[in-house]
Amino acid sequence: MTDNSVDSAATRIQTRAVRVISAATGITTMSTTLWFPFLPLFMLQVGARDPADAIFWVAVAQSVQGVLRLISAPMWGVLADRQGRKKMFVRTLYSAALTTFVLSVIGAPWQASIALGLHGLLSGFVPAAIALTSVTVPDGKLKSALSLVTGSQYMGTAIGPMLGAALVLVLGYRGAIFSSGLLVIAVATAVIYLVPADMVKKKEDAAPATLEPFRPTFQLVLATFIYFLLFALNSFRGVATPIALQGIAGEDVTHIVGVTFALGGMASALGIWLLAGRMFKKHTLGNTLVVTTLLLAAAHFLLAHADSVFQFMLWFTAISLLNAAMAPVTNTLIAFNVSRARRGTAFGLASGAQAIAFMAGPMAAAWFATFSLQMGFAVLGGTMVCLAILIRVALKEPQANAQVKAA
């Protein structure tokens, strides 16, 4: 067999693997967003006293999830580098299914903390998918591969809420949540058979190889901080939006919430496929990120002043578009500021940052819900202005060929 034939076969295997990882990420995200946008409304059904109380219990549950993920994520990241990223990805998928099964049988708002706590301890499928993708393709194809995975994730967020709204009408909240878990089990099983295992180097005696030291640079920390902020702001909006829409519409808003999150998901996918690729260009990355962040700030200020459902949907969609466009860039910044051998560890660190975001965003939403969610959205806008300044002053473009060492 010629070298060209071998290269062609390897390329086909890599392409199939990335497509399966992307599909699995998208479908699992769809299954999660099938019920997550309605979680505050579900809390009202199982015993929350009022909308502010419902947001409080969602925030508590997400904080428990965040604490446990903060504890477990670094361990899972190191284990991924030693045992294989595919194993960790499959584990996170089955764990996501377990979360939904537990959530579907809760009888009081506080019990949501049990379900989301299990998710924080055992799951975290998006960082696991990104880590697996980052070692599946050559670095020259990393940007396009990560864009495909992230784009599929956001397509899942587009389809999930609309499907969830339909299933809630037919099966109720519990039935919709339980059904999503069955779908995730099917996805996890498919990944086992369709994605090849990533190679983890071992010594001849089969003992685990000694990993090179993990020395996080300032740029890695900065990229992880941007990653944290994007998730924190997204978590704030995700928890606050159903209650904010209820305050504007003053009626049953299940269908309105479904449409709003679906529009946000479609805009997110467009942000990935139309904008993200144009952002990661040599000598322009920093300026492009600054402009995008300032546009995000402006959209949040406009969201804070929305006084109709149409206006809220419009600015929510714009925010989703811009927020998503930054996601593959942030993931690539993290990957390019660490060696291939340590990318599981790096994205374990990112998962820990995500965990803190899952605590900070909902808790901030719960606090602002006691007096003004509109003020909360305005504060998010101010936060993005500060982030734009930080990016302008501190971010350096990654030099993939010089900084990323082959595993």
Asked if 392 and 286 touch (Cβ cutoff 8 Å), the reply is yes
> Is residue 162's pLDDT more than 70?
yes
- pLDDT for 218-270, tens place per residue? 999 999 999 999 989 988 998 899 889 988 887 778 788 888 988 888 888 78
pLDDT > 70 in the chain, percent: 89
For residue 26, CA distances in Å to 21, 106, 153, 155, 236 come to 9, 26, 4, 6, 22
- Alpha carbon 362 to its chain centroid, in Å, reads 15
Average pLDDT for 283-308: 89
| Structural class in CATH, domain 10-197+216-403 | mainly alpha
CA 333 to CA 326: how far, in whole Å? 11
CB atoms within 10 A of CB 148: 22
Q: Domain boundaries in the chain?
A: 10-197+216-403
pTM of model > 0.85: no
- The dihedral of CA 214, 218, 221, 227: what is its sign? negative
DSSP-based three-state secondary structure for 385:
helix
Using left for φ > 0, alpha for ψ between -120 and 50, and beta otherwise, residue 395 falls in beta
Average pLDDT for 288-303: 94
The structure tokens listed for 94 are 């089955």
Residue 312 is predicted with a pLDDT of 96
DSSP per-residue string spanning 260-329: HHHHHHHHHHHIIIIIIHHHS-TTTHHHHHHHHHHHHHHHHHHHHT--SHHHHHHHHHHHHHHHHHHHHH
- pLDDT for 169-224, tens place per residue? 899 999 999 999 999 999 999 999 999 887 655 544 444 455 667 778 899 999 99
**280 pLDDT band (50/70/90 cuts)?**
low
For residue 153, CA distances in Å to 122, 160, 272, 289 come to 19, 11, 10, 21
